[in-house]
Each structure stands twice: as C-alpha cells, then as structure tokens.
Amino acid sequence: MTFRLKENKPKRILIANRGEIATRVARACRELGHTAVGFYTDNEPNAAHLTFCDEWVHLEGHTNAETYLNIEKIVAIAKEENIDGVHPGYGFLSENTNFARRLEEEKIVFIGPHYKAIEQLGDKATSKQIAKKAGVPTVPGSTGAVPTIEEALKISKEIGYPVLLKAVAGGGGRGMRVCLNDDDVKKNFEAVQRESKSSFGNEDLLVEKFILNPHHIEVQILADKKGNTFHFFERECSVQRRHQKIIEEAPSPFIGEDEELRQNVCQTAVKLSQAVNYDSAGTVEFIMGEDKEFYFLEMNTRIQVEHPITEEITGIDLIVCMIQAAFEEDLQIPSQEWIGRTGHAIECRICAEDPITMLPAPGEVTGFETNFPQGIRFDHCLYRGLEVTPDFDPMVGKLIAKGQVRDVAIRKMRSALDALYIEGLKNNIPLHKVIMDEESFKNGNYDTNYIKNVAPQEKIDTKVDYKNVYRKLAAAEARILGM
C-alpha cells in the first residue's frame, strides 16, 4: 500500500546521511510531496543519493568527524536552509542523544524517537533495567556495569559458564568476548574494557549468560506521537560474521508456524517500546535459545538496514511512516489486526569485502550490471567510479527477494545473485551464492554459529566464469552504444 499526505504542508527535510539509505529516504520524501535536501562532501561531490534529492548542500570536510558526525555543523546548515526536519538514516548520528536534543532546541524535527528514549535505550545496562521493570525477559547476568574482575568472576559463577563480557555502549560485534571459565574472564576483562573505550569512549561492561546455539530474532515496531504502538512481525538475522549480520529473512524460519510464539515475541517488543513512550520506528532485538525461550538484547532506536524485508511482507513503507510520525500525522493504520503479512522475503547485504576472509576490501567500481528476475528489489549506492574507502561501512547495496513461500524466495535470490555483476570491486556475492545453495540454510536449520560451523566461505569456487563476465560486459556495452 502507499501512504500520501492529504492537506499537510510540504516540508523541507535534510538527509544527514549518504549511500543507499540516503537514497531510500529521498524517495520517501518525494512520495509525500516534501523537499529532499541531500549533503555532498569534499570527498563525495557526486554521491549517488544526490540524484534522488531535490536540493544539494555542501557539507564541508573529508573525514566523518568533519562531516556526518559534526553535530554543530549539521545543525547550523539545517537552520540556514530553513529545514523543517532531519532524517539521520542509520549509523552516524542516528542514535546520538545530543544530536536529537540539539535539533529539538532549535525547533527542528528529528525524524526518529525523542531523545529521552534514545538516551534510555542506548545504554545496554539502563535498557536492561527498563526491560526488567516492564516484565520483559532479559538474559541472566549483571543488572549494571561490572567494575572489577572480582565482581565479574562472582557473577559468572552464579549464572554458570559460558558467559559473555559485553560493552555497555557496544554495537556491531565490537567489545564482546565469550568466556568458558575463570581464566577466560581474567584474560578478557581488561581487553574488553580497552576495546570498549577505544570504540565507544566508554569502558563499562556487562556480564551475561552466553546462550548456546542461539537465534537472533528482532521485531520491527512503529509508534506515533498519539500513543499508538504497532509491530510488523519478526525478522531472523542469524547469519552473521563477527557478530555482524549479512543475511536476514522475514518471517523467521525458526519460529515457523508457531503463531503463539510469534505473537508472544512481537507483543513483548511492543511492551518494551511503550515503557519508554517510544514514538518512531525502532527494532527490538532478542536472543532465542534452542528451547525457544527468548531474552531481550537491545533496542535499536532507528531504522534498520534490513527494514526492506519487513516492507516486502507487510506492504507498508516504514520510512514514510517514520516521517509521518515525526510530524505528528496520521499513520493511517487503524489497528494491529489490520497489519497483515504475505509471502517470504530475504535480504543479502552486498559488501566490498573478500568473500573468503570476509574482511573489508576497499576499491573502485569500474562496471556495474544487473539483469534481475521478477520480484527483486535492490537498494544500493553503486555507480561506475564509486570509490569504496575504509572511511565508510563496506556495504554498497542490499539485494531483496520475495516469494510466496521461502523456497521461492531462495530460488529468486539465487537467480538475482547470478544477475548482479560488480566490476573492479571485490565483493561477497560468491559467499551469498554458496549459502543460498547450502542444505542447512535451505532447510532453515541454522543459528548464529552458521558461518563458524558450516564454513560456507571454504566452498567458494575461486575460478572466474569468464564466459558469464564477458556476456554481461557485452550487454552493458551494447546498451551504452544504443544497440
């Protein structure tokens, strides 16, 4: 379905981000009749998202600290350009309490939750306490930051090994260590503190029970400023490398046909959101054991990378809804029961990285070709000449396939991966192909240890299919020449 404004005044919306999410937000602004204002920086004067914006503003600087992380510079530009609202996308300042507060002080709408919710849920220790108070199950472990090795050892013995040492302010798999015994705790405690301090400016850590063979299940929620909170079902995000997602799907094959469990998880996410008067799009993340008992992990107070698969199964544009909620408009969702789901959707993150080592591989895109089957969506920032540098996340696109059932979605995804060719940039498309063909994944029989246990990266064929490469290059050349 498509939502449109009725008699609401068009707004000027600044997109404080880059890449595919900036493009995604610009498209939503245009649909609603708003003016999308995009940034270009000194090192990205021709960024792909600018094509979809109505206006462009120079964000002076070369580094992230000078540009997308510079709160005062962005706020000053927003004031100068008479901006009504700022959409932060994901990453950068999307979950920065100070940024949301500064915009509010300047009477500019932050297209996300109110800053108090970001503050409460952004700290893992605080969010865990909020969850407990709201009656949301949490992983057994410390209720707050653990200051000493001695206390960490005491808690570990109480809850039983294995345990996880985890940075309070962490994310993206950094600041985490699994410990199997006392010696591991002693060895890793200060290492996690150092990594946490270096990555997040905060050395506080938690001690939690480590769930064996877990599934990473998350629930998409959306709330408005009128007290309404809705869920949009769950996503399975268990295919990960270094605790970072690379494949997501909705609905979860692990939950399967267990509708009672599905509703329990989703309503629990709503309960947590309501506990902090949440008023935007957000994602509540859970860890689910083999016994299907689930525990609250954290809440991401922003739009997620993997939001497209939820849009595909529900037919609802989450970015449009975020904008409407921010400006206190009607979401046009009469009730939770009105939100339905159909089919199955899978997302593969296309990253500039070595498909075997899965380490970032910066480079320049010298060619780009697609020939997708029906039912494929590709959100990306690719263009010939794009330089992927270590300054940014290596993800350059998200390939999304939808089918009436999971088997069809996998089949479409496998075909789409064959139809996507990126020249000049080492990428993880070969890894995705192996996973789509691998039996345990096809059967939905996997957890967060999938990469480690199945090792699909070791099954990648390193031989280049030159016939296929030349065929795609010839097709691209023919189009350029108008043949």
Six token digits for residue 78: 């927003």
- The β-bridge partners of 294 are 288
d(CA 9, CA 445): 50
d(CA 214, CA 446): 9
d(CA 457, CA 182): 33
* Residues 311, 402 contacting (CB under 8 angstroms): no
3-class SS shares of the chain: helix, strand, coil, % to 5: 35, 25, 40
Q: Look at the alpha carbons of 56, 57, 62, 63 in this order and tell me if their dihedral is positive or negative.
A: negative
d(CA 101, CA 97): 6
Instruction: With H, G, I as helix, E, B as strand and everything else as coil, classify residue 164.
Output: strand
* Residues 279, 323 contacting (CB under 8 angstroms): no
* Residues 414, 257 contacting (CB under 8 angstroms): no
Q: Verify whether residue 302 is a known catalytic residue.
A: yes
> Residue 458 corresponds to which amino acid?
E
DSSP string, 260-319: HHHHHHHHHHHHHHHHTT--SEEEEEEEE-TT--EEEEEEE-S--TTHHHHHHHH---HH
* CB-count exposure of residue 459 (10 Å: 0-12, 13-18, 19+): middle
d(CA 330, CA 321): 9
* Residues 239, 231 contacting (CB under 8 angstroms): no
Q: Pick the catalytic residue from 302, 341, 349, 414.
A: 302
- Active site residues per annotation: 302
